[in-house]
Amino acid sequence: MLFMAINSLYSQVAIRGKVIDATTNQPIQGVTVATLNNQSNTTTDKNGNFTLNKAFNADSLTVTSVGYTSKRLIANTSELFILLSPSFANLNEVVVSGSREIQKRTEVPVAINIISKATINDTKATRLDMLINKVPGVYMVDLGNEQHEMSVRQPLGTKNLFLYLEDGIPIRTTGDFNHNALIEINQASMERIEVIKGPASSLYGSEAVGGAINFITQSPSPFLTGKVQAEIGSRGYKRTDFSASNTYNKVGMFIGGYYANQNQPDQEHNDFKKTALTGRADYSFTDKAKLSTVADYIAYKTDQKGGLDSSHFYNKDYVSFYRFTYRKVDAFRLRSTLTKDWSDNNKTSLTVFYRNTTIGQNPFYSISNIATNSLKAKGQINEDGFKSYGSVLQHTTKLKSINAKFISGVSIDFSPATYKAEFIDIDRDANRVYYNYTVKDSLLTNYHVNLLNTAVYTQFEYKPTDKLKLVAAARYDRLDYKFDNHLPPSAFTGAPDATDHFDHFTPKLGITYDFGKNKGAYINYSVGFAPPNITDLYTGVKVPVLKASSYNNYEVGGWVSFAANKGYAELSLYNLDGENEIVSTRLADGSYQNQNAGRTSHTGVEAIVKYAPAEDLNIRLAGSYARHKYLDYIEQGKNYSGNKMAQAPPFIYNGEITYKPHYFEGFRLAIEMQGMNKYFTNPQNTATYNGFTAFNARAGYSIKGFEFWTNCINLTDKVFATVVEKSAFGTSYRPGQLRTINVGIAYNFRNQ
């Protein structure tokens, strides 16, 4: 007996290893590692490590984890390093945006989609809209050179109805929204993107009405990794990216960024340049205490091209009538988060942040001709800037006895903001080209505003059974404005000094139910609100008295896996009713003024299907149908109630087929479709744009750390507009990108 025991002991060998996500280089917890006959198995810890006692005659292992493609390998060494790739049809992704805590996507009673690191890597996007538009019900309007508008359960537009976050913290302060805010994102630092559709004000506050987009910063890798890449395009686009990451004892570090520029002929007035840099440092005091600090720097400048009339647009004559208009962005953000696990049931996090952002511009849309001199015009140079000092304190308590959890927090954001506009005299030639300007000693606007946003929030999650989860949340926000006009108040300089405030209570109720076999459903009621912007309140020809816009959202949705988990589908239906929505209305003198439009209705359905019919082939179809209507809207005595809202295409769709042949490892080929159908371009519903369908193609090949790719945007060279608007001054077309071919090369290294 003793001999047999000793023999058994020596017939076992300890195999150790680490399991890593192949796209993010992050350790994976809970992976099952087993011998083929399952006589011995174990799971990985939070650092991805495992130890397995394996018999000598069992030389193969299986590695499996929910959401990842299983792997079989030969255990020919005592130290294994295993890379797992996320599965294409994955219902069990984890998210943090649904509750500010890590949880499975299927436990979140909202419509939420994830753009994974794998998707980011394969797409090789030169603009964020190339990624975000893959989400059903979302259309990010390309205005050129990373400029944009947004549509999520709302018409295409520039309103402050969307909240942009980085690691859960808004990238701009409430009350000073800018529709081009995503210029301030570093695309080279993203680990993934989480898109919440519908109001998220119960957690994140105002402006999270149509949706919230949370950009998750790349976490430091547990070993040395890095990337360098270069890219060039057929229309003058050039870009270089880099990143590096490592962990030294208790300190993990990541740095990444890119520089992009574009040079085109002078008559197109479409040059730009951007520098983006992000650094992150994580320090683990203990297993239960961690400090994470992230700094972002963005420097950006672009020519402002402007829209085209119908003649130039349909003739592919993308000449610009401007030679000096520009937009310039300088942004710096710093935030630091300390998390502490007091016990298995209690956790606290404290985030402090600082922002310093300015947007300067010589805007084409502020140029107006002088009636008495056809060779003269007038315009302005302006600069909007703010600094922020803020913090968010959050505590989570688990009540294991009843299988429940409380998440509660308080936040404060103090943001002094300034705005200054100077008058310019503009020269115009006989071809209607605005070619020169002179700054006059005349201030149009000069003011300072102190913005103070304070809030308290709580969320209660309760699982009475393993299949049922209840979520109830509420938040109270108060936003205070203290306006100081440095000029005498007038129709042009703005309002007299004023103190205003807006507050709102935003609840949310949600239920998820797991029917088993990867099928589930949810229902959700939520409220969103958006206070007026600084410019809505205090600038313009007239300063209106505005109310905060509020929205009630009713939503139901579900998900299902099919074809032996080779595919999955998600569906959501919603009804979003808005009150006091702020719209730009034309006055009798031809000028425009922001007013509360009364009531609006937004109803729709969103769906996505992913299916892998074969090992080599992946298919994704995403789309939405929506109806956006004015319920109560009167302009200049004309009643548009019942009309469809302008710039609101009913159908928006995106689909993609990707081929990755197993016999040609490292190669990929994808064809993508993006489009929308006909919509009205004015609230009178008298003018329309027919919409478009465009195709993109992407191909790449990876070998021994090197990657080569080519992307063809607008494969058929179709003439289309990303948005069309009709006003008293005519119809403006913002042209989509004509056929463009980009090629690139990258080298990725991993010291393992």
β-bridge pairing 94-95 and 79-84: unpaired
Residue 83 clears pLDDT 60, i.e. is over it: yes
**Which segment of 199-213, 444-458, 582-596 scores lowest on mean pLDDT?**
582-596
AA letter at 271: D
Retrieve residue 718's tokens.
């179709």
Q: Indicate if the pLDDT at residue 67 is higher than 60.
A: yes
Q: What is the pLDDT of residue 7?
A: 47
d(CA 159, CA 142): 16
Tell me the average pLDDT across 524-546: 79
DSSP state of 463: -
Based on C-alpha coordinates, what's the Rg of the chain? 27
Residue 592: strand pairing partners: 586
Report d(CA 33, CA 355) in Å as an integer.
45
**Structure-block tokens of residue 685:** 């519903």
pTM for the predicted model, two decimal places: 0.93
Q: Report residue 35's pLDDT band, with 50, 70 and 90 as the boundaries.
A: confident
Name which of 155-164, 521-530, 540-549, 672-681 the model is least confident about.
Answer: 540-549
> What pLDDT does residue 517 have?
83
Residue 371's CB: how many other CB atoms inside 10 A? 7
Lowest mean pLDDT of 78-87, 318-327, 541-550, 687-696, name the range: 541-550
Q: What value does the mean pLDDT take over residues 355-376?
A: 93
Task: In whole angstroms, give the CA distance from residue 692 to residue 674.
Answer: 8
pLDDT band at 56 (very low <50, low <70, confident <90, very high): low
Q: Which residue has the higher pLDDT, 593 or 714?
A: 714
Q: Which pLDDT belongs to residue 656?
A: 97
- Structural class in CATH, domain 94-215: mainly beta
> What is the C-alpha to C-alpha distance for residues 619 and 117, in angstroms, rounded to an integer?
18
Q: What is the pLDDT of residue 4?
A: 46
Each residue's pLDDT tens digit, 301-359? 999 998 888 888 988 888 999 999 999 999 999 999 999 999 999 999 999 999 999 99
Q: What is the model's pLDDT at position 591?
A: 54
The CATH class of the 2-84 domain is mainly beta
Q: Where are the domains of the chain?
A: 2-84, 94-215, 216-750
CA dist list (Å): 535 to 380, 388, 417, 464: 15, 18, 11, 48
Task: Identify whether the C-beta of residue 688 lies closer than 8 Å to the C-beta of residue 695.
Answer: no
Q: Quick one: pLDDT at residue 541?
A: 46
Residues 6+ apart with CB under 8 A from 750: 25, 223, 224, 225, 705
Beta bridge pairs of residue 556: 523, 573
pLDDT given at position 9? 45
Quick one: which H or E segment has residue 130?
helix 129-132
What is the mean predicted confidence (pLDDT) over 30-53? 83
> What pLDDT does residue 6 have?
46
When pLDDT is averaged across residues 133-138 and rounded to a whole number, the result is: 96
Beta strands in 271-403 (DSSP E): 272-286, 289-303, 326-341, 346-362, 368-370, 373-399
The overall average pLDDT reported for the chain is 90
- Per-residue pLDDT at 8 exceeds 60: no
Token code pair at residue 65: 């984890």
What DSSP string runs through 566-607?
Answer: TEEEEEEEEEEEEES-EEEEE-TTS-EEEEE--EEEEEEEEE
Task: Return the minimum-mean-pLDDT range out of 143-152, 368-377, 509-518, 586-595.
Answer: 586-595
The third-level CATH classification (topology) of the domain covering 216-750 is Maltoporin; Chain A (2.40.170)
Q: The dihedral of CA 177, 178, 182, 184: what is its sign? A: negative
Q: Check: CB of residue 118 under 8 Å from CB of residue 109.
A: no
Torsion angles phi and psi, residue 378, rounded to 5: -135, 155
Residue 706 neighbours by CB under 8 Å, 6+ apart = 745, 746, 747, 748
- Confidence at residue 294, expressed as pLDDT on a 0 to 100 scale: 98
DSSP bridge pairs for 424:
379, 439
DSSP string, 614-656: ETTEEEEEEEEEEEEEEEE-EETTEE-TTPBPTT--SEEEEEE
Q: What is the dihedral of CA 405, 410, 411, 412, to 10 degrees?
A: 180
Confidence of residue 589 (pLDDT cuts 50, 70, 90): low
What Å distances lie between residue 278 and 258, 325, 331, CA to CA? 9, 29, 12
Tell me the DSSP string of 511-555.
Answer: EEEE-SSSEEEEEEEEEEEEPPPHHHHH-SSS------EEEEEEE
pLDDT at residue number 536:
80
pLDDT at 219: 94
Per DSSP, 124 falls in state -
Are 346 and 365 in contact by the 8 Å Cβ rule? The answer is no
Cα–Cα distance, 350 to 476 (Å, whole number): 19
Helix, strand or coil for residue 188?
helix
Bigger pLDDT: 50 or 165? 165
pLDDT at 23: 86
Q: State pLDDT tens for residues 599-643.
A: 899 999 999 999 999 989 999 999 999 999 999 887 767 888 899
C-alpha atoms less than 13 angstroms from C-alpha of 163 in its C-beta half-sphere: 32
Q: What are phi and psi of 309, to 5 degrees?
A: -80, 175
How far apart CA 449 and CA 175 sit, in angstroms, is 10
3-state per-residue secondary structure call for 24-36: CCCECCCCEEEEC
Select from 153, 114, 145, 105 the least CA-distant residue to 132: 114
pLDDT attached to residue 64: 83
3-state SS, residue 223:
coil
Q: Lowest mean pLDDT of 2-6, 50-54, 275-279, 350-354, name the range.
A: 2-6
Reduced to 3 states (helix: H, G, I; strand: E, B; else coil), residue 344 is coil
Nearest to 241 by CA among 193, 276, 279, 288: 276
Q: How confident is the model at residue 590 (pLDDT cuts 50, 70, 90)?
A: low
- The helix or strand, by DSSP H or E, that contains position 314, with its residue range, turns out to be helix 310-314
Say whether pLDDT at 48 is over 50. Answer: yes
The span from the CA of 610 to the CA of 218, in Å, is 25
Asked if residue 302 lies in contact with residue 271, where contact means CB atoms within 8 angstroms, the answer is yes
Sign of CA dihedral 628, 631, 632, 637: positive
CA 623 to chain CA centroid, nearest Å = 18
pLDDT at 253 (0 to 100): 97
Return phi, psi of residue 536, to 5°.
-65, -40
Q: What's the one-letter identity of residue 153?
A: R
Edge-first strand order for the sheet with 49-55 is: 49-55, 12-21, 79-84
Residue 644: pLDDT over 60: yes
pLDDT tens string 536-577: 888 764 555 778 889 999 999 999 999 888 899 999 999 999
